[in-house]
Structure 1
Amino acid sequence: MSGKTKVAIIGSGNIGTDLMIKIMRLSKVLEMGAFVGIDPNSDGLKRAERMGVPITAGGIDGLVAMPEFKDIGIVFDATSAGAHKKHSEILLAHGKRVIDLTPAAIGPYTIPPVNGDANLDALNVNMVTCGGQATIPMVAAVNRVTPVHYGEIVASIASKSAGPGTRANIDEFTETTSEAIMAVGGARRGKAIIVLNPAEPPLIMRDTVYCLTDDADQDAIRQSVAEMAAEVQSYVPGYRLKQDVQFERIGDNAPLRIPEMDESFTGLKVTIFIEVEGAAHYLPAYAGNLDIMTSAALKTAEKIAMRSLERTDA
């Protein structure tokens, strides 16, 4: 296996810039081929230019017009759900592989430690959301021990870490994450809530995961959760369980009403608390929500690139 796969990033904001720096510092199989924005004065474009990366402020049309475009194998889209629909059509028409960091959900949901190898041949893969990347592995960890009837996640991120793209996609965040809790996490029903915390100094990303299951082996759930956390830590070192997994038995004498399912629940309530500290490649360490997205996208792209190179060498 030889050579690196050239990639482009559309979106010169927080996520796109952090992803660019990760690729340049960490990746042994990916190489920056182009960095794309729409504001020539953005910090991301200026930084990319200083680092020797070919840039354009012409958006998707500017990327296609660049001489470097023909050598690009994978394109990351770190813009918005609405913009991604247009970008995906254009990129797929040019035969490019696409990794979507918006909640557009055109391609299959991809969470590296849960189904990271299942979608490597898809032309467009969706990285769900920051909350999804942090919490769906935990839903899946519980679900592989006992079926999850209902999974709810609450993602709390520092307000300062939420840029214009994140704020424009709040509705898509909740919808896409809720669907992925079911499609990837395995829950029968899912719900997602995001909180932009304005506290000063900014707080590190915190996530709470609630799973309602039948009565099950609590030690097996603890072990499954710990093993899954370790898998996520392999590519997001700042990912950690904040405290021990919590269990509560919901009895027939006081059933829990689930409005989203219009039914009452008795059984086991599993609560998992997570903290995600960023690697601070571009943004402060409190922005773990961005770090887990870019780290997941990087891991997925590297797997896609390695598979393509192996096939070429074969």
Structure 2
Amino acid sequence: MLTTAVLGTGFLGLDLIDRIQNSPSLQCALVVGRAPGSRGLAQAAELGCTTTTAGGIDALLDAGRFDIVFDATSAFDHPEHAKRLADTGAVLVDLTPTSTGALIVPTVNGHQAAAHRHIGLVSCGGQASIPVLHALAQRYQPTYVEMVATAATASVGRASRLNLDEYLFTTQDAIGQFTGAERAKAILNISAAQPAPPFRIAMTVVADGVEQEPVRTMVESAEADMRAVVPGYRVTSCTVTDKSVRVIAEVTATRGQLPVHAGNLEVISAAAIHAAEQHAAATHGAKELAR
């Protein structure tokens, strides 16, 4: 098993811990928060991580070496974390919306995760939209791609609100990379509606020659692949008109640590664990070959 450390004790960090605890190839060895006696650290201990501490990146470095470190803090803090962890040998999985690290989306290029030591997960909007957008771009050359994400205010924490500019830039840039679109745009809405709405992604692709049946087939295939990683993912609408495709998808959380509307958190924590387990599988394979 690979030893892991989690930086961050918000909803996202807690879901990561729960997933690690249920993984056959990962072990939760350390959970790090900032404030001693915080509710997040107490909840991490309740989940079975007996080693929890405050003190941020300093506490993590003092605790020793880990095979994998999950950074669930903020885009402002991640560059410093990456710099200080660079010489430790740990694989760094970045759940913040920074543009550093190799961008991994499980159903698109998840098999490449094991080749990288610094992995970026784009953003929740990127993880939810890129599988569909990439699928369409394999047949049609988009001239414009737009992604509008809507998240419930209760599932968007303080760090995420401070990182909105980074979120939009990183998501937009990644969509362009994965689709080859001439222009790409990302928009994020934070909804205070009650009851809290599920995480929703509206995607628009402008391209010549789009046809209804091929588009629907590709979207349904991308949806099925996503549901294998994120069971609460579903496409609710797929409309094809002259030179444009509009797809709407929703993600509901299906795990106990997250409220049902927090699909934005579930989609990115699932991607993080997928990347870590790819490293675990590669490590196990290397050991088998060495015998």
**TM-score (structure 2 length as normaliser):** 0.96
> For residues 152-301 of structure 1, what are the structure 2 equivalents within 5 Å?
152-243=146-237, 245-249=238-242, 268-301=243-276
- The whole-number CA distance in structure 2 between the counterparts of 1:156 and 1:216 is 26
Q: Verify the 8 A CA contact 1:76 1:100 in the aligned structure 2.
A: yes
Q: Verify the 8 A CA contact 1:92 1:123 in the aligned structure 2.
A: no
Q: CA deviation at 1:120?
A: 2.2
- The whole-number CA distance in structure 1 between the counterparts of 2:192 and 2:32 is 30
- The whole-number CA distance in structure 1 between the counterparts of 2:50 and 2:221 is 38
Which string of whole-angstrom CA distances, capped at 9 and with x for unpartnered residues, describes residues 163-217 of structure 1? Answer: 1111111000100000000112332321100000001111111110000011133
Give the counterpart letter for 2:12 in structure 1: I
**1:310: which partner in 2?**
285
> For residues 11-50 of structure 1, what are the structure 2 equivalents within 5 Å?
11-25=8-22, 27-50=23-46
**2:54: which partner in 1?**
57
- The whole-number CA distance in structure 2 between the counterparts of 1:76 and 1:184 is 24
**In structure 2, the residue corresponding to 1:184 is in which secondary structure?**
helix
- The whole-number CA distance in structure 2 between the counterparts of 1:194 and 1:42 is 29
**In structure 1, the residue corresponding to 2:115 is in which secondary structure?**
coil
Which string of whole-angstrom CA distances, capped at 9 and with x for unpartnered residues, describes residues 96-152 of structure 1? Answer: 110000112211211111111224211101000000000111110110121111110
Q: CA deviation at 1:7?
A: 0.6
Unaligned segments of structure 1, at least 5 residues: 250-267
**TM-score (structure 1 length as normaliser):** 0.89
- The whole-number CA distance in structure 1 between the counterparts of 2:10 and 2:210 is 44
Q: Verify the 8 A CA contact 2:210 2:244 in the aligned structure 1.
A: no
Q: CA deviation at 1:239?
A: 0.1
Give the counterpart letter for 1:246 in structure 2: T
- The whole-number CA distance in structure 1 between the counterparts of 2:154 and 2:120 is 24
Unaligned segments of structure 2, at least 5 residues: none
Give the counterpart letter for 2:108 in structure 1: V
User: Is 1:106 aligned with 2:100?
Assistant: yes
- The whole-number CA distance in structure 2 between the counterparts of 1:229 and 1:130 is 16
Cα RMSD over matched residues?
Answer: 1.2
Give the counterpart letter for 2:278 in structure 1: K
Q: Verify the 8 A CA contact 1:74 1:97 in the aligned structure 2.
A: yes
Q: Verify the 8 A CA contact 1:81 1:103 in the aligned structure 2.
A: yes
Give the counterpart letter for 1:29 in structure 2: S
Which string of whole-angstrom CA distances, capped at 9 and with x for unpartnered residues, describes residues 1-38 of structure 1? Answer: xxx1111110111111111112213x111110110110
- The whole-number CA distance in structure 2 between the counterparts of 1:60 and 1:274 is 36
- The whole-number CA distance in structure 2 between the counterparts of 1:111 and 1:185 is 13
- The whole-number CA distance in structure 2 between the counterparts of 1:22 and 1:81 is 23
- The whole-number CA distance in structure 1 between the counterparts of 2:253 and 2:215 is 27
